[in-house]
Structure 1
């Protein structure tokens, strides 16, 4: 049996919609990854790469081509983040949590706006996507947030929260109900991660003050 085909076989149904092994495994690995990021645990990068590979299959099958392609970029960013967290120049080479500088916000927002416009145009003209604008928006927000987490920018959690608020109804619309539910969980984990990284930042500032 084709192992990739087996992963896409229905496991159970939700609201009369089949849920595949890919979606179930993506649910579990995705939740674990965000929980590990919130705890600043290095293993999040390996778990995240496994999650990205599963979501490539899931999103391609659902016609969310930008989200599928995004997973490849996520894998590259995970490799960068893994290196960055272990070679960050903080105590014992541990990358410290910090705030986003003004110049970083400027280029992130400029790149995000340009990327969203360009990707929307590409998806609209080159694919059969039924939601090109929303697919492009979530793609760009996710890239911005992931870069921020690679550099341990505390505001990256706010960008993830914004992305999740779009992802939840988008996946429900595409009948990926379990994945939509996963992103409700992501939203809660992002709030917890934001609190955790803020505490770490405040504690570090207090020590150095």
Structure 2
């Protein structure tokens, strides 16, 4: 557990908390967290997770762009609804992409858990896309992904990050609850 891992954890938690509060400032904070965690994961040979941080950096810019277009007069963003078609299409494509990436990682890297690493990375990209598109369902996906990541990080002895991902489960549940009440009050 390094100072860099601590800093990355704090930035990540702040970014998720700001997302739950539907403020556009979550995206610059998550960009910083992505850069920091990219270094942490590369140092621990979790290559898919390190690459994922680069993708998260790009998605943070995309999220900022999307959210700036969805800001309401209150300063918070409008929440969009996920259709069943989009749900099934996106989760199916993500499963195939995660499996393919896992096979590639197994063949060309020393990743100790290539299928887990790749699958969680793929679904994290989907979670980030759904968050950028302001789908309330992103929080359910994040809860599942964060529980599984916490277990992976315990096994990899990244204990600060495992605690962070356990906290993410609580923050995701809080985000889902907060966004659910906003959707319920929408006309």
Please classify the TM superposition score into its range, dividing by the shorter chain length. Answer: over 0.9
**TM-score normalized with structure 2 length:** 0.95
Equivalent in the alignment of 1:27: 9
Structure whose residues are more often strand by fraction = 1
5 Å-filtered alignment, 1:1-209, equals: 19-88=1-70, 91-92=72-73, 95-204=77-186, 208=187
Structure 1 residue ranges without an equivalent (≥5): 1-18
* Deviation at residue 94 of structure 1 after TM alignment: 6.4
Residue-pair matches, total: 186
**In 2: Cα distance, 1:175 partner to 1:105 partner:** 34
**TM-score normalized with structure 1 length:** 0.85
**In 2: Cα distance, 1:94 partner to 1:163 partner:** 25
Q: Which has the larger radius of gyration?
A: 1
Task: Report the RMSD for the aligned CA atoms in angstroms.
Answer: 1.4
* Deviation at residue 95 of structure 1 after TM alignment: 4.3
**In 1: Cα distance, 2:59 partner to 2:93 partner:** 16
Deviations along 1:150-185, whole A, 9 cap, x unmatched? 011001001101101111110011110010001111
**In 2: Cα distance, 1:121 partner to 1:163 partner:** 20
Cα 1:43–1:91 change in 2 (3 A) is closer
Aligned partners of 2:22 and 2:77 also within 8 Å: no
> 2:38 aligns to what SS in structure 1?
helix
Structure 2 residue ranges without an equivalent (≥5): none
Task: Tell me which stretches of 4 or more aligned residues in structure 1 moved more than 2 Å.
Answer: 90-95
